[in-house]
Amino acid sequence: GGTERYNYGEALGKSILFYDAQRSGKLPANNPIKWRGDSALGDKGDNGEDLTGGWYD
């Protein structure tokens, strides 16, 4: 084994940023991903269901 050290706090922080970057719908003003704007605000299901919000996959 090596003597590599892992910064798990940094890895966790980056994984949360990844999910923040995948958000859709009306985003809060304090969204940490500055280049991500509101998206898919008019999405509707076949029967008119509101499909806004959530995450992209």
- Report the distance separating Cα 21 and Cα 1, nearest Å: 35
Distance from chain centroid for Cα 29: 14
Full-prediction pTM beyond 0.85?
A: no
pLDDT at 56: 92
Q: What ranges do the domains of the chain cover? A: 23-57
**Mean pLDDT per segment of 10 residues, for the chain of length 57 residues?**
86 96 95 95 96 92
